[in-house]
Amino acid sequence: MPEMHFSVRWPDNSVTDCYSPSLVVKEYLEVGQTYPLTDFVERSATALNIGSERVRQKFGYACSSAMDQLQRIQDTAKRFEEVADAKVTIEGFSP
């Protein structure tokens, strides 16, 4: 199953490298696109849950790395919940 990484620029300009067990993340996030914080978290959750389910279908178990990544995204997003008009930019994808 092709995994991929995606780089995310948070509202404080920090950049995080994120993991997806599936290319499905490209269907929900676009390089160069800026998303409102809650939209980014929702899109990430959808993509990572689909990716985890694809792992389950292929190997018989969910992808714990995808769920760990989602938790890290949600935890980081909480730091910016009080920031007015907080946005997240997708910097890039890599294998």
CA 48 to mean position of chain CA atoms: 7
Write out pLDDT tens, residues 27-44.
999 999 999 999 999 999
**Residue 26 domain boundaries:** 4-94
pLDDT of residue 2: 86
Whether the CB-CB separation of 91 and 8 falls below 8 Å is answered with yes
Segment 56-84 mean pLDDT: 96
Of 75, 77, 21, 24, nearest to 47 by C-alpha is 24
* Tally of domains in the chain: 1
pLDDT band at 8 (very low <50, low <70, confident <90, very high): very high
